[in-house]
Amino acid sequence: MKGNENKPRIGIFGRRNYGKSSLINYLTGQQVAIVSDFAGATTDPVRKTMELHGVGPVVWIDTAGIDDSGDLGTLRIEKTYSELQQVDLAIILLADNKLDEPEERLIESCRKRNLNFLLLYAQSDIVPPDDAFLADVESETGKRPMVFNVKEPHYREGLLSAIRDALPESAFRQPSLLGDVISQGDTVVMVTPIDSAAPEGRMILPQVQVLRDILDNHGTAVVCRETELRSTLAALKQPPRLVVTDSQVFHMVRDILDELMPDCYLTSFSVLLARAKGLFDDYVKGTPAIDKLRDGDRVLMLESCTHNVTCEDIGRVKLPALLKKYTGKQLHCEAIGGMTPIPADIADYALVIQCGGCVISRQQLASRLQPALDAGVPVSNYGLAIAYMNGIFTRSMKIFG
């Protein structure tokens, strides 16, 4: 159930010719990254997936040097820094007994993002580390650099062990979506619409994740389309513990439950994912800002995945239309797909609405929304926003207590 996007990401950062690519090859035991004596051999991030004992599959990311030069070098440095938003752990290489502006800026960026980082002293066979330098680094950063040399295999296990210890557990242990709200034998009805936005021949990832979580918690999953919900509920011998629906049919599902099973819990796939991914309290706090939107306000939709846009697209078509109808205001709704950088003018937006984030990690989601939170811009989530505008905001979270 762990796709590439949800594997822990470990980035290797440092100056040119400090051995970042050599370290990737050393840790993976493969010639993954290009190694050259010429500075700047790595121009774009290189990724390699490898099993890390005790963690599972992780993605190693080799980056361009943080001391690159020229116009193109500046773009490479920007690209390298953008990787800090993607990784769960940063490994920063030191060498030649230097810790100056490039390293200090990188360390400060990690701290601003609450990103775990390790300091490694590389190429110790070329310029051995000075004890006074190591002590100064520890005094300044609170971390004593680990010394290693890729020509000596005995360092490898110690490095891997340190990396395992530094990797936050939240990066590789995904919280259960329903483990604290359902019990063994409980029935959960999943309502899954099929429209032009649905992938051909398969279910969307949030639906698959919820289905697996029901099974992991020894529940019984019943899956139907919204058009068959009424007959599905009638066929059950006992009311289900919970109905989980796609946000776009919240209104229809609510009306059926109000008629047949008014006491049944109701929530959405997006709400479940939002709760598991973190920042849920920020969503709950920010969602009522919908009522404060005014004519001319800008609303930013963040779609973490990339897909073909259709006339039934939730983030670009249905949700903006619902916002305008609910508020009665002339709003300017904009959408950004994938991990495209957040606009520099984020403070000009009145509201940011994030998708469920099924294809990104908790760290990526937090990094993505932090600029808005820092700027005081309210943030919401697709599922919570739709529930709010359908009058079932409180009901969609009632099962969580």
Residues 118-146: tens digit of each pLDDT: 999 999 999 999 999 999 999 999 999 99
- With a cut of 80, say whether residue 56 has pLDDT above it: yes
The winner for highest mean pLDDT among 28-42, 162-176, 229-243, 379-393 is 229-243
Per-residue model confidence (pLDDT) at position 4: 47
| Higher pLDDT pick, 67 / 377 | 377
- Are the C-beta atoms of 294 and 350 separated by less than 8 Å? yes
Give percent of the chain above pLDDT 70. 91
Which string of b and e fits 358-389 if b means at least 16 CB within 10 Å?
bbbbbbbbbbbbbbbbeeebbbbbbbbbbbbb
Average pLDDT over residues 228-241: 95
Encoded tokens for 218 = 């020894």
| Confidence bin at 96 (pLDDT 50/70/90) | very high
Mean pLDDT to the nearest integer, 18-37: 74
Residue 53 near residue 39, CB atoms below 8 Å: no
Delimit the domains of the chain by residue range.
4-171, 187-272+392-400, 281-389
d(CA 237, CA 45): 55
- pLDDT value at residue 6: 66
The predicted pLDDT at position 36 comes to 47
pLDDT at residue 306 tops 60: no
Strand blocks (E) in 262-360: 265-268, 298-303, 332-337, 351-354
pLDDT band at 372 (very low <50, low <70, confident <90, very high): very high
The topology under which CATH files domain 4-171 is Rossmann fold (3.40.50)
- Whether 380 has a pLDDT exceeding 90, the answer reads yes
Q: What is the pLDDT of residue 401?
A: 80
What's the rounded mean pLDDT across residues 69-96?
88
pLDDT at residue 270 in the model: 85
272-281 mean pLDDT: 87
Indicate whether 33 pLDDT > 60: no
pLDDT tens-digit series, residues 139-185: 999 999 999 998 999 999 999 999 999 988 877 777 889 999 999 99
Among candidates 357, 307, 321, 313, which has minimal Cα distance to 195?
313
- By CB atoms closer than 10 A (0-12, 13-18, 19+), residue 326 is middle
Please give the Cα distance from 271 to 213 (Å, whole number).
15
The pLDDT assigned to 1 comes to 40
Is residue 40 left, alpha or beta, with left meaning phi > 0 and alpha meaning psi from -120 to 50? left
Residue 147 phi/psi, 5° resolution? -95, 135
If you average pLDDT over every residue of the chain, what do you get?
A: 87
The residue with greater pLDDT, 31 or 180, is: 180
For the segment 352-381, the average pLDDT, to the nearest whole number, is 86
| pTM over the 0.75 mark | no
Residues 176-210 pLDDT 10s: 899 999 999 999 999 998 865 566 777 888 899 99
Whether domain 187-272+392-400 has CATH 3.40.50.11420: the reply is yes
Backbone phi, psi, residue 109, to 5°: -65, -40
Q: Which two tokens stand for residue 315?
A: 């983030």
Residue range 325-331: mean pLDDT, rounded: 96
Domains 187-272+392-400 and 281-389 are alike in CATH topology: yes
Domain spanning 281-389: which CATH class is it, in words?
alpha beta
308 contacts: CB under 8 Å, gap ≥ 6: none
Pairing of strands 187-191, 298-303: unpaired
pLDDT higher than 60, residue 7: yes
